[in-house]
Amino acid sequence: MNAARRTSRRTVWAAVRAMALFTILLGVAYPLAVTGIGQLALPAQANGSLVSDSAGSPVGSALIGQQFFTAAGDPDPAFFQPRPSAAGDGYDGAASSGSNLGPKNPDLVAAIGERKAQVADFNGVPETEVPADAVTASSSGLDPHISPAYAAIQVQRVAEARGIDTATVAQLVEAHTAGPDLGYLGESRVNVLELNLALEQLRG
């Protein structure tokens, strides 16, 4: 009986020590090490890839899109507009998702047709020039980028709304166009928030 109790106590004590050891290693040491490495090697990414305005105030993240509306709640013609978002009311990080509708779903087909007409009218271009990313949401609903083609059809409208030269706006788009990762992964893209901040700095 005593031997059985001693064996049981040893087993419990060994389990307690193992739990304490792995709690310290995996619950304390490992998170601290990863956080420290992130802050030292990639501080911007580790802190959310925040983007700041000319005054140094954070205005968003380079990784999460946002909408640019007027006070009345309409798309602001003086800013480049992002692609649609199905995350909450739009670009809601707490509700990241796509519509999950298939390409032949009648609701999606109708929504795309409506969006295409709106984008074409808003930018003063034929519907045939409206690219796919202007009328479809990304799978996350948070994509901060648009295609160079979508940016291109917005240049004239933004330039007119701001009263500046079209060529100047086009140059800003080109300057904020990133190529494929590693030169071949993905497509060229334009970060909408960073481009709009550049426009505001131009005005300032």
Kindly tell me the burial class for residue 178, based on how many C-beta atoms sit within 10 Å of its own C-beta (0-12, 13-18, 19 or more).
Answer: middle
Q: What is the reported pLDDT for 123? A: 97
**Domain ranges in the chain?**
1-47, 50-202
Q: φ, ψ for residue 166 (rounded to 5)?
A: -60, -40
Q: What is the reported pLDDT for 98? A: 80
Q: What is the reported pLDDT for 89? A: 85
**pLDDT tens readout for residues 62-75:** 889 999 999 888 99
* In the block, residue with structure tokens 């013609």: 77
Task: Give the chain's residues under pLDDT 50.
Answer: none
C-alpha–C-alpha distance, residues 5 and 22, integer Å: 26
**pLDDT tens readout for residues 31-59:** 989 988 888 887 777 777 888 887 778 88
Q: What is the reported pLDDT for 97? A: 82
Q: What is the reported pLDDT for 1? A: 53
Where do the H-state alpha helices sit in the chain?
2-24, 30-41, 43-46, 106-123, 148-152, 155-162, 166-175, 192-203
Q: What is the pTM of this model?
A: 0.79
Q: What is the reported pLDDT for 204? A: 59
User: What is the token pair recorded at 128?
Assistant: 């045939």
